[in-house]
Chain A
Amino acid sequence: MSNTSQFPCGQTRRQFAWQMGHGVAGLAMTDLLTRDGFFGAPVRAAERDAPLNPLAPKPPQIKPRAKACIFLTMNGAPSQVDTFDYKPELEKYAGQPLPADRKYINSGGRKVGFLTPAWRKFRPGGESGLLVSDYFPNVRKHADKLCVLNSCHTDSHAHGSALVAINTGKTLIGRPSLGSWAVYGLGTENENLPGYVVILDNRGGPISGQPNWANGFMPATYSGTLFRPVGDPILDLRGPQHMTQKAQREQLDFLAELNQQHLDTRPSGRELAARINSYELAYRMQSATPKAVDLSQETQSTLDMYGVGKEPTDEYGRNCLIARRLVERGVRFIQLYSGGGHLEETWDAHAGIESNHGRHGAEVDQPIAALLTDLEQRSLLDDTLVIWGGEFGRMPFSEGQNAPGRNHNPYGFSMWFAGGGVKGGMNYGKTDDFGFEAVEDKVHLHDLHATILHIMGLDHELLTYFHQGREESLTDVGGNVIDDVLA
């Protein structure tokens, strides 16, 4: 640290920061022009005093069941009938076509084959006996924590728009994502870290890219921050090598002096003071963010539990472990992508369920199980909602005769919740006998989103943002909270 903390005007840096900050947190991050219609029925966008800190923790609208959310996003769409939706009928009708009265869009005009049973066996797990296939043997051990939603359905059969939909509620790009809504509604508990963190698969980002974690029409403050699990987690966290901590402290002090003189002649400069303070926050972020991803703080047994340091679990294991560390540090919303880039690099198992899900399942099964164990052991699970799922599901029939892959299926697929005030050891909703289409207690994306917000203490109908003449919300005009899954 610098030993020249004495300012020319006789102030120490700390005094200076105190005076500037007016109690620091107050002016942390000023959003000068937020025009939000926060909480409540439509209001005219009359001028209101913009909140001083758009990321400050805000009281929930309803009693929260979870403070944080980890969304384990299986990019590319895992097959429900091979993972969490057991369909014995498929064995019976194996080799036969899907009944002709079932209408669907054959995504990409691919070959259509015959009904094909699960590629790996389903077995009961836990006391509940919830059925989970052998693609997730470790997750199965947590069966009693899982609330499996078997009746999900979505609005698109194409990865690009379906991913955008699972993230933002609509198939069209340009809207704020789930995490943005959560942070907009609740703020964040730790101002030294972003409130909404996204960690991508090393193989690449999801298709459609940025719009999947975008702030849409909200201020950029609410955008997801991409976190890299190795090295510096966020952009521009470090300057060039010669800007050592000492040199930087020196520079910041000099900058503060320049800014102080500037402010002295502009006494009403609220935005100027806010910006001065943002430099101190940035300085703290520089040390806080790398610490959040520094796994050398973890014991070997923890690392082993997540499968860090061995293949094929190393990458997702690290990401899951980082997610736990971020939850501990008060980060509100964390999204971990499994699968990146295209086709077989994701869960998009056109070429073969066994080859694809075998590979990706092995990458994530142990890490996810470890995350659930770890959160539970640290008493974090009750306050954390863990979500697992992809952008849609897959067809119960093969892609081509006797072929090993399956095509996209937006009509019925499975996701699961764990932790955060949801019931465990249960299945909710049903697909038909073939696992083709959700038929009972159907869960649309909007229902899913409404429920997630509800669990986090937000009412999806009241959480609105006024934009271009309309009170916008995540669920638009739809969505019902699935009360049956709440503990």
Chain B
Amino acid sequence: MPDLSDNGSLSCWLVRLLVWLSVASGISVSAADAAPDFESDIAPLLVRRCVECHQGKNPSGGLLLTTRKGLHAGGESGQVIDLQNVDDSKLLQRVIDGEMPPEKQGRSQKLSDAEIKLIRQWLAGGAKWPDDRELDYFERTNDVRAGRDWWSLQPLVRPEVPQLVRQPQPNNPIDAFVRSKLEAENITPAPRADRRTLVRRAYYDLIGLPPTEDEIKAFLADDSAEAWPRLIDRLLEMPQYGERWARYWLDLARYADTSGYERDQEKPFAWKYRDWVVKAFNSDMSYDQFVMQQIAGDELPDRTEESVIATGFLRLGTWNDEPNDKLDYQYDRLEDLVHTTSSAFLALTVKCARCHSHKFDAITQEDYYRMASAFWAGPLLEGELGGPPAQKLGFNDVLGWTDESPTPKPLHILKNGERHQPLEEVIPASLSSIPSLERRFDVPLDGAKTSHRRLQLARWIADPRNPVTSRVLVNRLWQHHFGQGIVRTPSNFGFLANPPTHPQLLDWLAAEFQSGGRRMKSIHRLILTSQTWQQSTLHPHAEEFEKRDSGNRLLWRSSRRRLDAETLRDSLLAVSGDLDLRVGGAGFKPTISPEALEGLSRKSAAWEPSPIEQQKRRSLYMYLKRGLLPPMMTTFDLCDPTLSCGQRDVTIVPTQALTLLNNRFVHDRSEHLATVISQGSSDQKEQVRQAWSRVLRRQPSDSELDSALRYLVTQTRTFAESEVPSVDELAAERTKGIRSSLVLHLRADKAVVSDGDETRVRSLPDLSSQGHDATQLEVKAQPVLVADGFGGKPTLRFDGSGRFMYLFGQVITAQSHTIVCVVSDDGGSGHREVISNWNGGAGNSTTSLFLGLTGDNTVRFSDAFAPAGNVTDRTKPFVLAAVNGSGQAAVFQNGRLLKSAPELAPRRLDTPWIIGQQGNINGEFWKGGIAEIRVYNRDLTDQERQSVEAELAGRYEVSLSPIENRPRLSPEILALASLCHAMMNSNEFLFVD
């Protein structure tokens, strides 16, 4: 156990805690029957055991136990003490019975014998209570909760830098603090890590990207004393620094691009907030400004568009447009704002005081509502997408926050947090947790547009005398450089927090941060130039020290860290040479496999990935939809953006292995890299060296080279020999599962031709076995069969002049349906249809269902959905798919979404079905080829549709959209790719020493 009771302000509370503990355990009463002392014996007992309920304006049972007067006045059931006959005192009887304190969650809270004895003695001694002494539930820390004397709330005093005894005094005070503790524990620090390790660690720490081999070499070649600080300065000046560190802040700000819940609407221009954060880091904005702008950027006297964008911080929470009860919901939104603000900036769990005073920290229920009052003037109830309408912000195209009026309606404290039980009106003010800084919020000056409460809250948080703010921030910086903070629960500095491993160091850093104008870059420099940060992860005495301090709380070595989700993805892009380092702007939508899209309620076309080139940007810019977080990212512990997140989990699970082994994104990287390497050199040894250099940023050892070469030989042979099933076979296998929904299946190779003319098609059997055979008995209306049509397969040709076929029976019976066909189009002047049930006489001239093209060569999927997108290369065979159902209609060409629309209005489906013409209109004839038509009586999922498209594309040699259509790589390149892939999966790649 590290020694926490070193000198300094932080330790006072601990000393008191120890004193209290000895009281509570009854040690001090052992001194015979001396009358207990009120201050040292009774006050703590009452505060700890009774005052939680018996305090305030409405004490439980009417009994107030915070004043002498209250004790003597008694409660609703009369006097509680009888000083003449002490044993008749109700107070004593109740605690002896165990009736008081009442049980909690089924567990008895009965006082100990020692405590009961104390009370009896105190009563017997006349229940002494100094007249003016008022007990305060939060006055001090005890063994079950923190008081206002809690360490994190105490003023910041710069501690003395300790002097080492056995080692030379280090230059960097960080090392003095850390090593003095190590000295005391007789633990030696780990040696400095080698320079190659350090340069990689510095790159990942500061910019979240690996150094190239050349950058490493250049650093290793520079052995001047200035090499290291120069490297740090260079990295801190790179725009990638801001990107790396902004991501940590975005976790705290619960950043996402959508609102969540059923409709999961986009939060337009949320990305401008992200850019603001990146710029704030890159420009080394003072932390005061960083705080002020995010909480009150709209209220600042010198407000700018940027400062208003910063208030996006308050707009980023989830938002339900259909809450069960709007009036209740505004209180939930308040909680989000209170919680996000208080945990991100103050590491206080103020939200726990919504229904009752905090169970563990010096935060009253009133404090919760005081803080909530700062946000009460905002558009919690109305507004656009949960926020102020754009014009109220004064700038176009920004997402921000502002008040609805300078004088909001009163906010009441709510009993048990319930809206229907309002207690007194809260007076807007700061928290009471730090008495010396407690202040009411002034009403705004006349003419103000906002309540100025957030401004005053922001000023209170940013006040240099507020000790929590700087402690919390430097702890976060430390955390991301060491994997763990000095306080290892970075968003909770309260009673249930993990106490600081180095309390004095924390205060020293906070003081240093203050005196340096609250700039973060100087703290980074300080940390990275310390020996503590530069230690190796390895230690010659690791085994022994592990036993004594397995959590490395004393920092006797550096902790190895796994790349987080973004850094991993960025690194994959970096090593394959794909990374696009464009900074800022709107995000990109990654390709998400159709399987993963299954979870969406509106799935077909609900997610349109950005062009592949844009997807090569850093992961920071990945669009985060709350209802569909990218699976690859969540697998690697991207945190849920519902709540502010101060520390991500770090897990190692097999699904991560599956992702890195099998995910297409990773294969794209390794295949691209292998292609590039093999273009540079055909020499296998050189290729292996290149692979090592690019992925692991070093040269292979001789044995690694040998085994890699052997690996290439084996894998090349394997790939050359492997019988890869044809796309056709695989797709056919996959489409088996949806056959039961197939209601029409026509294929030209099954055509029955006319007697006497083998090119005239008389009928096509319906292969779905639903009996919707196609027929045309009139020879002049029969399509022509081309034996060597699409992909060399038989195909029907329609010449646009009166050729069509009748279908037997009602083909489609459900309003949800899918049509997939393989066609080509030579038309151009007017409408033409592949399939239709238009029937003017029967009365569905506006409600029929059909699929065809317009005179403008756009697809029409019934009158309700036209135009449904432009086809390209229409004279070549293509797969045309139309899906309707589940709230959506969508049309695809060769697997590419042409357009989507709301679900079609109900169609009338019971009229005769025709192919090659607009129903019975005697016109709009198809001109071009039709090789196959499949109709399903439901909306296929994306995956199902794709499997049908893939099967058809395979048969007719049609190219599907790019992602499905990769060039076939040679066995040699595949082997090299598989080598690169293995390295991308290696621990050396994924961990930073």
B956-980: which residues lie under 8 A (CB-CB) from chain A? 974, 978-979
Instruction: Specify which chain B residues have a CB less than 8 angstroms from the CB of A210 in the assembled complex.
Output: 599, 626-629
Contact with A along B302-337 (1 / 0, CB 8 A): 000000000000000010101111000000100000
Q: How far is the CA of A469 from the CA of B495 in the complex (A)?
A: 8
Checking B262, B360, B990 against A160 with a beta-carbon cut-off of 8 angstroms, the contacting residue is B262
Q: How far is the CA of A223 from the CA of B639 in the complex (A)?
A: 12
Checking B537, B562, B714 against A250 with a beta-carbon cut-off of 8 angstroms, the contacting residue is B714
B698-740: which residues lie under 8 A (CB-CB) from chain A? 703-704, 707-708, 711, 714-715, 718-719, 722, 724-725, 730, 734, 737, 740
Chain B CB within 8 A of A287 CB: no
* B667-A220 in contact (CB<8A): no
Chain B CB within 8 A of A157 CB: yes
Nearest-Cβ distance from residue B421 to partner chain A, whole angstroms: 16
Chain B residue nearest to A31 in the complex (CB): B651
**Given that A236-B661, A242-B719 are contacting pairs, would A255 and B982 also be in contact in the complex, using a CB cutoff of 8 Å?**
yes
Chain A CB within 8 A of B352 CB: yes
Chain B CB within 8 A of A401 CB: no
* B352-A470 in contact (CB<8A): yes
| Residue from B491, B494, B740, B938 having most chain A Cβ neighbours under 10 A | B740
Q: How far is the CA of A27 from the CA of B823 in the complex (A)?
A: 56
* B489-A200 in contact (CB<8A): no
Chain B CB within 8 A of A378 CB: no
Instruction: Specify which chain B residues have a CB less than 8 angstroms from the CB of A266 in the assembled complex.
Output: 537-538, 560, 993
Q: How far is the CA of A45 from the CA of B495 in the complex (A)?
A: 9
Instruction: Specify which chain A residues have a CB less than 8 angstroms from the CB of B722 in the assembled complex.
Output: 242, 244, 246-247
Nearest-Cβ distance from residue B644 to partner chain A, whole angstroms: 8
Instruction: Specify which chain A residues have a CB less than 8 angstroms from the CB of B105 in the assembled complex.
Output: 461
Instruction: Specify which chain A residues have a CB less than 8 angstroms from the CB of B941 in the assembled complex.
Output: 202
Instruction: Specify which chain B residues have a CB less than 8 angstroms from the CB of A340 in the assembled complex.
Output: 601, 886
* A200-B599 in contact (CB<8A): yes
Nearest-Cβ distance from residue A86 to partner chain B, whole angstroms: 28
Chain A CB within 8 A of B466 CB: no
Question: How many residues of chain A have a CB within 8 Å of chain B?
Answer: 110
Q: How far is the CA of A341 from the CA of B360 in the complex (A)?
A: 44
**Given that A33-B647, A204-B601 are contacting pairs, would A160 and B320 also be in contact in the complex, using a CB cutoff of 8 Å?**
yes
Instruction: Specify which chain B residues have a CB less than 8 angstroms from the CB of A225 in the assembled complex.
Output: 655
Instruction: Specify which chain B residues have a CB less than 8 angstroms from the CB of A4 in the assembled complex.
Output: 714
Nearest-Cβ distance from residue A107 to partner chain B, whole angstroms: 9
Please, could you name 5 A-B residue pairs with CB atoms under 8 Å apart, sorted by A?
Answer: A231-B734, A241-B724, A250-B715, A259-B988, A468-B643
Checking B339, B885, B943 against A341 with a beta-carbon cut-off of 8 angstroms, the contacting residue is B885
**Given that A216-B640, A258-B982, A461-B106 are contacting pairs, would A345 and B553 also be in contact in the complex, using a CB cutoff of 8 Å?**
no
Q: How far is the CA of A248 from the CA of B106 in the complex (A)?
A: 55
* A276-B546 in contact (CB<8A): no
Instruction: Specify which chain B residues have a CB less than 8 angstroms from the CB of A262 in the assembled complex.
Output: 986-988
Q: How far is the CA of A42 from the CA of B360 in the complex (A)?
A: 11
Checking B351, B352, B542 against A268 with a beta-carbon cut-off of 8 angstroms, the contacting residue is B542
Chain B CB within 8 A of A144 CB: no
* A311-B601 in contact (CB<8A): no
Q: How far is the CA of A5 from the CA of B401 in the complex (A)?
A: 62
Chain B CB within 8 A of A133 CB: no
Nearest-Cβ distance from residue B738 to partner chain A, whole angstroms: 8
Chain A CB within 8 A of B283 CB: no
B483-508: which residues lie under 8 A (CB-CB) from chain A? 488-489, 491-492, 494-498
* A47-B553 in contact (CB<8A): yes
Instruction: Specify which chain A residues have a CB less than 8 angstroms from the CB of B614 in the assembled complex.
Output: none
Nearest-Cβ distance from residue B112 to partner chain A, whole angstroms: 17
Nearest-Cβ distance from residue A410 to partner chain B, whole angstroms: 8
**Given that A205-B603, A261-B704 are contacting pairs, would A161 and B261 also be in contact in the complex, using a CB cutoff of 8 Å?**
yes
Chain A residue nearest to B711 in the complex (CB): A254
Nearest-Cβ distance from residue A436 to partner chain B, whole angstroms: 18
Chain B CB within 8 A of A99 CB: no
* B816-A251 in contact (CB<8A): no
Q: How far is the CA of A315 from the CA of B757 in the complex (A)?
A: 45
Contact with A along B96-129 (1 / 0, CB 8 A): 0000000001110000000000000000000000
Chain A CB within 8 A of B763 CB: no
Chain B CB within 8 A of A309 CB: yes
Chain B CB within 8 A of A239 CB: yes
Q: Which segment of A167-175, A414-422, A426-434, A440-448 sits at the interface?
A: A167-175
Chain B residue nearest to A216 in the complex (CB): B640
Chain A CB within 8 A of B595 CB: yes
Q: How far is the CA of A203 from the CA of B264 in the complex (A)?
A: 19
**Given that A205-B600, A217-B640, A282-B657 are contacting pairs, would A235 and B986 also be in contact in the complex, using a CB cutoff of 8 Å?**
no
A212-229: which residues lie under 8 A (CB-CB) from chain B? 214-217, 219-221, 223, 225-226, 228
Interface residues, chain B, with chain A CB atoms under 8 Å away? 105-107, 260-262, 264, 318, 320, 322-325, 332, 339, 343, 349, 351-352, 360-361, 488-489, 491-492, 494-498, 537-538, 542-543, 546, 550-551, 553, 560, 562, 593, 595-596, 598-603, 626-629, 631, 634-635, 637, 640, 642-643, 647, 649-659, 661-664, 667, 703-704, 707-708, 711, 714-715, 718-719, 722, 724-725, 730, 734, 737, 740-741, 816, 885-887, 938-939, 941, 943-944, 974, 978-979, 981-983, 985-988, 990-991, 993
| Residue from A173, A204, A276, A345 having most chain B Cβ neighbours under 10 A | A204
Instruction: Specify which chain B residues have a CB less than 8 angstroms from the CB of A342 in the assembled complex.
Output: 601-602, 886-887
* B658-A247 in contact (CB<8A): no
Checking A223, A275, A286 against B990 with a beta-carbon cut-off of 8 angstroms, the contacting residue is A275
Instruction: Specify which chain A residues have a CB less than 8 angstroms from the CB of B653 in the assembled complex.
Output: 29, 220-221, 278
Nearest-Cβ distance from residue A229 to partner chain B, whole angstroms: 8
Q: How far is the CA of A475 from the CA of B495 in the complex (A)?
A: 24
Chain B CB within 8 A of A25 CB: no
* B642-A341 in contact (CB<8A): no
**Given that A241-B725, A247-B715, A341-B886 are contacting pairs, would A236 and B659 also be in contact in the complex, using a CB cutoff of 8 Å?**
yes
Instruction: Specify which chain A residues have a CB less than 8 angstroms from the CB of B325 in the assembled complex.
Output: 105
* B598-A205 in contact (CB<8A): yes
Q: How far is the CA of A161 from the CA of B860 in the complex (A)?
A: 37
Nearest-Cβ distance from residue B18 to partner chain A, whole angstroms: 16
Nearest-Cβ distance from residue B87 to partner chain A, whole angstroms: 33
| Besides A54-B651, A174-B640, A271-B991, 9 other A-B contacts (C-beta < 8 A) | A8-B703, A158-B262, A173-B318, A207-B262, A208-B264, A220-B634, A225-B655, A247-B719, A275-B657
Chain B CB within 8 A of A487 CB: no
Q: How far is the CA of A470 from the CA of B348 in the complex (A)?
A: 12
* A220-B651 in contact (CB<8A): yes
* B324-A157 in contact (CB<8A): yes
Chain B CB within 8 A of A155 CB: yes
Chain B CB within 8 A of A238 CB: yes
Instruction: Specify which chain A residues have a CB less than 8 angstroms from the CB of B659 in the assembled complex.
Output: 235-236
Chain B residue nearest to A163 in the complex (CB): B262
Instruction: Specify which chain B residues have a CB less than 8 angstroms from the CB of A466 in the assembled complex.
Output: 496
Q: How far is the CA of A455 from the CA of B406 in the complex (A)?
A: 54
Chain B CB within 8 A of A230 CB: yes
Chain B CB within 8 A of A303 CB: no
Q: How far is the CA of A31 from the CA of B448 in the complex (A)?
A: 52
Chain B CB within 8 A of A240 CB: yes
Instruction: Specify which chain A residues have a CB less than 8 angstroms from the CB of B635 in the assembled complex.
Output: 220
Instruction: Specify which chain A residues have a CB less than 8 angstroms from the CB of B343 in the assembled complex.
Output: 468
* B596-A208 in contact (CB<8A): no
Q: How far is the CA of A191 from the CA of B104 in the complex (A)?
A: 38
* B652-A269 in contact (CB<8A): no
| Residue from B107, B361, B649, B741 having most chain A Cβ neighbours under 10 A | B649
Checking A30, A161, A221 against B322 with a beta-carbon cut-off of 8 angstroms, the contacting residue is A161
Q: How far is the CA of A244 from the CA of B718 in the complex (A)?
A: 9
Chain B CB within 8 A of A32 CB: yes
Chain A residue nearest to B629 in the complex (CB): A210
Q: How far is the CA of A208 from the CA of B643 in the complex (A)?
A: 16
Q: How far is the CA of A119 from the CA of B498 in the complex (A)?
A: 60
Instruction: Specify which chain A residues have a CB less than 8 angstroms from the CB of B885 in the assembled complex.
Output: 203, 341, 345
Instruction: Specify which chain B residues have a CB less than 8 angstroms from the CB of A278 in the assembled complex.
Output: 652-654, 656-657
Q: How far is the CA of A202 from the CA of B939 in the complex (A)?
A: 9
Q: What are the 9 tightest A-B residue pairs by CB atom distance, in nearest-first order?
A: A469-B349, A174-B642, A341-B886, A282-B657, A160-B262, A209-B627, A156-B324, A282-B654, A281-B654
